[in-house]
A and B are shown apart, each in its own frame.
Chain A
């Protein structure tokens, strides 16, 4: 009887590869950043910067989000994932596509190989979207989080498709618009459509769950999603048919209202929480949510001041601050549970066993948080003051942070149970 209601934990083989690959990408892009730190003083449309951004966005952010989503979507939808095999297929396509894209950008090969890489990422996105949609359609309950998940998955496929078209356009020029303007639309479909909406959906479920908070007004989430999508669609249409100009700020405002409503929802959950002690990982994830405010300020500066460093600062806040901050915090809130389930599920209640939080080294988490704050601050300062030496030093801190993270992920992944079932 119980089996009818209980979710079977996701298969380790379907989720773990995403986490391991993402950690390797993190270390990889930190090395690339170190090798090309001085190039951060120039224009962002630069082969090495493009390679780093795509390694961060695809190999790191998207990779780990896919893995976490396959783990969490069953919780959000109250329904087992449609296909773990398809999840693994999406992993293969995303990994191959990300590697090819990063390699092509690093060497600035804009031909068929780059187009192939882009196509693989689009296929990975389609696999993910199909898997998510069928899981949700099969779900008996319609929860507000599901709309965020579907919407963000659609935006991912749109972003990847736009990126593929831009890759084709680099070789076979066919888009009757300025390539740089189209690049902005591609980037913001990814930032606001894919990352922001997914984080809003998952966060709205998980944050109240972790802090044991109650929110009565669920409609806030519906309005939040509606405003975010309305603003983003209008921004895209305006940006494509006209240009990204002062007029687009109105649409940005709509998106901001949507995000603001989400913050009101989360704020209610945190205020009414009964679990007063919030652990460091949770604090880090919550504080990372405020980093987009600094990103927005630097975005405003790009309009007021012509220097390209403000665009670099904006990208740094978004990709290295917001996304990386959330990911390194949330990794150890999700990954240990997968490993724990695999190692200890069969002996739970039978023997003295560690808890999921005992699988990683807690003192390294504290160290990781300090290094993250230090690395981010230092890099931002280095970008603003435009000093190559400081940029080099800051990027070295990122390498240390990535190594710490990889070591801790490895500790969890390779954890061996000493208890015999």
Chain B
């Protein structure tokens, strides 16, 4: 998830990113931001925030739990907004999307 600091809503996006760092992938034990599962958080509409994300595998058995985690974390951070979560499979998630911190947590050298 890339945040361009010179854009409007960058502050909200950063707050959303911090909130989503509390959502952990239960199998890998790493947060979904560092795993690169969150592609974007659209904060352009003041009342609805849209999280666009993916999973490491289609039909991930913990997908439902992760989705709920995202909803809870975002609702806490933005209690006055509706949270919409869009699950997408394009682009397909791959290892290159993991951040350096995520790689370190996974023991990837």
Q: Which residues of A pack against B, CB within 8 Å?
A: 1-2, 5-10, 71-72, 74-75, 77-79, 209-210, 212, 214, 274-277, 337, 340-341, 344-350, 355-357
- A209, B57: Cβ atoms closer than 8 Å: yes
Selected from A71, A79, A345, the residue in CB contact (under 8 A) with B68 is A345
Instruction: Confirm or deny: B8 has a beta carbon within 8 angstroms of a beta carbon on chain A.
Output: no
* CB-CB nearest in chain B for A80: B59
- B87, A274: Cβ atoms closer than 8 Å: no
- A2, B87: Cβ atoms closer than 8 Å: yes
User: Closest approach, in angstroms, between the C-beta of B17 and any C-beta of chain A?
Assistant: 14
Chain B residues lying within 8 Å of A79, measured Cβ to Cβ, are 59
How distant is the Cα of A167 from the Cα of B86 in the complex, in angstroms? 56
Secondary structure of the B contact surface, majority rule? mixed
- B27, A1: Cβ atoms closer than 8 Å: no
Chain B residues lying within 8 Å of A350, measured Cβ to Cβ, are 69, 72-73, 76
Chain A residues lying within 8 Å of B69, measured Cβ to Cβ, are 348-350
Chain A residues lying within 8 Å of B56, measured Cβ to Cβ, are 209
- Known A-B contacts A212-B95, A355-B29; A344 and B108 likewise in contact (beta carbons under 8 Å): no
* CB-CB nearest in chain B for A275: B106
- Known A-B contacts A7-B60, A212-B95, A355-B24; A275 and B107 likewise in contact (beta carbons under 8 Å): yes
Selected from A1, A10, A78, A276, the residue in CB contact (under 8 A) with B107 is A276
Chain B residues lying within 8 Å of A209, measured Cβ to Cβ, are 56-57
Selected from B22, B55, B61, B67, the residue in CB contact (under 8 A) with A74 is B61
Chain B residues lying within 8 Å of A2, measured Cβ to Cβ, are 67, 85-87
Chain A residues lying within 8 Å of B76, measured Cβ to Cβ, are 349-350
How distant is the Cα of A348 from the Cα of B57 in the complex, in angstroms? 19
- Known A-B contacts A1-B87, A350-B72; A337 and B26 likewise in contact (beta carbons under 8 Å): yes
How distant is the Cα of A337 from the Cα of B95 in the complex, in angstroms? 23
User: Closest approach, in angstroms, between the C-beta of B57 and any C-beta of chain A?
Assistant: 6
User: Closest approach, in angstroms, between the C-beta of B48 and any C-beta of chain A?
Assistant: 13
Chain B residues lying within 8 Å of A72, measured Cβ to Cβ, are 61
Chain A residues lying within 8 Å of B18, measured Cβ to Cβ, are none
How distant is the Cα of A214 from the Cα of B56 in the complex, in angstroms? 13
How distant is the Cα of A349 from the Cα of B84 in the complex, in angstroms? 16
* CB-CB nearest in chain B for A278: B107
- A274, B65: Cβ atoms closer than 8 Å: no
Chain A residues lying within 8 Å of B68, measured Cβ to Cβ, are 345-346, 348-349
Instruction: Confirm or deny: B23 has a beta carbon within 8 angstroms of a beta carbon on chain A.
Output: yes
A-B contact pairs, 8 of them (CB 8 A): A5-B58, A210-B27, A274-B95, A337-B27, A341-B64, A348-B65, A349-B76, A350-B72
User: Closest approach, in angstroms, between the C-beta of A143 and any C-beta of chain B?
Assistant: 10
- A6, B108: Cβ atoms closer than 8 Å: no
User: Closest approach, in angstroms, between the C-beta of A399 and any C-beta of chain B?
Assistant: 33
- A6, B29: Cβ atoms closer than 8 Å: no
User: Closest approach, in angstroms, between the C-beta of A141 and any C-beta of chain B?
Assistant: 8
CB under 8 Å from chain A, chain B span 75-92: 76, 84-87, 89
- B61, A349: Cβ atoms closer than 8 Å: no
How distant is the Cα of A78 from the Cα of B60 in the complex, in angstroms? 8
Instruction: Confirm or deny: B109 has a beta carbon within 8 angstroms of a beta carbon on chain A.
Output: yes
Chain B residues lying within 8 Å of A337, measured Cβ to Cβ, are 26-27, 61-62
**5 further A-B pairs in the complex, CB-CB below 8 A; given A74-B59, A348-B72:** A9-B61, A71-B61, A275-B106, A275-B107, A348-B68
How distant is the Cα of A32 from the Cα of B80 in the complex, in angstroms? 63
Instruction: Confirm or deny: B14 has a beta carbon within 8 angstroms of a beta carbon on chain A.
Output: no
Chain A residues lying within 8 Å of B59, measured Cβ to Cβ, are 6-7, 74-75, 77-79
Chain B residues lying within 8 Å of A71, measured Cβ to Cβ, are 61
